[in-house]
């Protein structure tokens, strides 16, 4: 199963959700890969800590190979690096992804990620793709490569309006490039159960028939510590309420 976590709005929880769900899959013994397509590299830092700096070979190296004809190409599988967590692997980000984007786009490399990940089908049970906060070449490559799409939503009124455009974008990719792509659902993130506004927002979306997943992720200050110590919640604090919510979400996605 290849799953992309996507929302063109920044800071809605894409990287945090990607890494925490992936860490749970790996902890359950599934061979799991995180693909960090965001040049910011937040998922790469979250999983690797200080070792993220200058990590190689990374996704920029993989994409660069598609632009040059060399006799000795590095195998796709060599770009999946082990993380400190058992069964969890990473295709790391690089700031160079940003520089490569224009070239990749102008030379029609939009299917290269799909082809690369298809080569790894036998090697991984679960692939999670983190995307940048934009509808750009990398995001489209991910939506073309994936079987499923999870959309984090941060209970903000602006994001609510952007959701419709986002779902239309996904539908267009599905129609034009990837019939297999399914919207698994919208993940309500940083939900504050005691505030009435978020509840009303989510109720409105449900009433409008949007595919809101019933497991909401609450807001927790421990997420900051989780990022700083490069330990996903299942390793930092398995009994925490938010960890339990991630586990429930993971189980709901049919991967437990
Ligand atoms: N459940 C949560 N509780 C508290 N803070 C959270 C939670 N989820 C995410 N955050 C915080 O919100 C911020 C944005 O999260 P994250 O980086 O995962 O979002 P993103 O969508 O990947 O952002 P970007 O668009 O920049 O890539 C981070 O500081 C993260 O620690
Ligand atoms: Mg991110």
Q: What is the pLDDT of residues 150-203, one digit of tens each?
A: 999 998 888 888 899 999 999 999 999 999 999 999 999 999 888 888 899 999
Q: What is the mean pLDDT of residues 81-102?
A: 98
pLDDT tops 90 at residue 82: yes
- What residue spans define the domains of the chain? 2-252
- Return the pLDDT at 255: 59
Instruction: Give the Å distance between the CA of 11 and the centre of ligand 2.
Output: 7
Q: What is the pLDDT of residues 20-35, one digit of tens each?
A: 999 999 999 999 999 9
> Under 8 Å CB-to-CB from 57, ≥6 apart: which residues?
74, 78, 79, 81
Instruction: Give the Å distance between the CA of 66 and the centre of ligand 1.
Output: 32
Ligand index nearest the alpha carbon of residue 155: 1
Contact 236, 229 (CB under 8 A): yes
- Return the pLDDT at 80: 98
- Return the pLDDT at 97: 98
- Return the pLDDT at 256: 45
Could you list the beta-strand ranges (E) of the chain.
2-5, 32-36, 81-82, 88-91, 126-130, 148-153, 182-188
Q: What is the mean pLDDT of residues 112-139?
A: 98
Q: What is the mean pLDDT of residues 78-92?
A: 98
Q: Indicate if ligand 1 lies below 6 Å from the C-beta of 150.
A: no
Among 16, 230, 232, 234, the mutation site with the greatest number of ligand 1 atoms within 8 A of its Cβ is 16
The rounded percent of the chain whose pLDDT value lies above 70 is: 99
Instruction: Give the Å distance between the CA of 94 and the centre of ligand 2.
Output: 13
Domain over 2-252 is classified CATH 3.40.50.300:
yes
- Return the pLDDT at 195: 87
From 43-47, 49-53, 67-71, 235-239, the region with the lowest mean pLDDT: 67-71
Backbone phi, psi, residue 151, to 5°: -120, 105
Q: Indicate if ligand 1 lies below 6 Å from the C-beta of 141.
A: no
Q: What is the mean pLDDT of residues 119-131?
A: 98
- Return the pLDDT at 193: 84
- Return the pLDDT at 78: 98
Q: Indicate if ligand 1 lies below 6 Å from the C-beta of 49.
A: no
Q: Indicate if ligand 1 lies below 6 Å from the C-beta of 244.
A: no
Residues with CB under 5 A from ligand 2 (ion): 14-15, 42
Q: Indicate if ligand 1 lies below 6 Å from the C-beta of 189.
A: yes
Q: Indicate if ligand 1 lies below 6 Å from the C-beta of 38.
A: yes
Q: Indicate if ligand 1 lies below 6 Å from the C-beta of 223.
A: yes
Instruction: Give the Å distance between the CA of 205 and the centre of ligand 2.
Output: 24
pLDDT tops 80 at residue 254: no
Ligand index nearest the alpha carbon of residue 43: 2
- Return the pLDDT at 190: 95
Task: For residue 2, list its beta bridge partners.
Answer: 127
- Return the pLDDT at 71: 73
- Long-range CB pairs of 245-251, under 8 A, 24+ apart, other chains included: 245/215, 245/216, 245/217, 245/218, 246/20, 246/21, 246/24, 246/217, 247/24, 248/215, 249/21, 249/187, 249/213, 249/215, 249/217, 250/21, 250/24, 250/25
Across the chain, what does the average pLDDT equal?
A: 96
From 91-100, 114-123, 188-197, 230-239, the region with the lowest mean pLDDT: 188-197
- Find the length of the chain: 256
DSSP-assigned letters across all residues of 55-80: -SS-HHHHHHHTTS--SSPPPGGGG-
């Amino acid at each position: 199963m290849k799953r992309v976590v996507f929302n063109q709005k920044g800071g809605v929880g894409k990287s945090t959700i990607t890494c925490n769900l992936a860490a749970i899959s790996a902890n359950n013994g599934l061979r799991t890969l995180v693909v960090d397509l965001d040049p910011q590299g937040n998922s790469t830092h979250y999983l690797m800590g200080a070792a993220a700096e200058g990590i190689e070979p990374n996704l920029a190296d993989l994409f660069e190979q598609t632009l040059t004809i060399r006799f000795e190409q590095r195998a796709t599988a060599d770009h999946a690096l082990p993380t400190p967590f058992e069964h969890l692997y990473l295709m790391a980000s690089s700031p160079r992804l940003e520089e490569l984007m224009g070239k990749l786009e102008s030379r029609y490399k939009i299917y290269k990620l799909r082809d690369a990940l298809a080569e790894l089908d036998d090697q991984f049970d679960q692939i999670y793709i983190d995307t940048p906060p934009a509808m750009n070449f990398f995001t489209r490559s991910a939506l073309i490569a994936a079987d499923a799409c999870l959309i984090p939503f941060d209970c903000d009124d602006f994001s609510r309006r952007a959701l419709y455009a986002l779902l239309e974008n996904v539908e267009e990719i599905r129609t034009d490039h990837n019939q297999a792509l399914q919207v698994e659902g919208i993940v309500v993130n940083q939900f504050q159960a005691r505030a009435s506004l978020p509840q009303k927002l989510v109720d409105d979306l449900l009433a409008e028939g949007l595919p809101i997943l019933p497991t909401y992720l609450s807001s927790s200050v421990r997420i900051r510590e989780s990022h700083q110590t490069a330990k996903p919640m299942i390793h930092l604090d398995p009994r925490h309420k938010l960890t339990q919510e991630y586990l429930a979400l993971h189980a709901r996605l049919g991967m437990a």
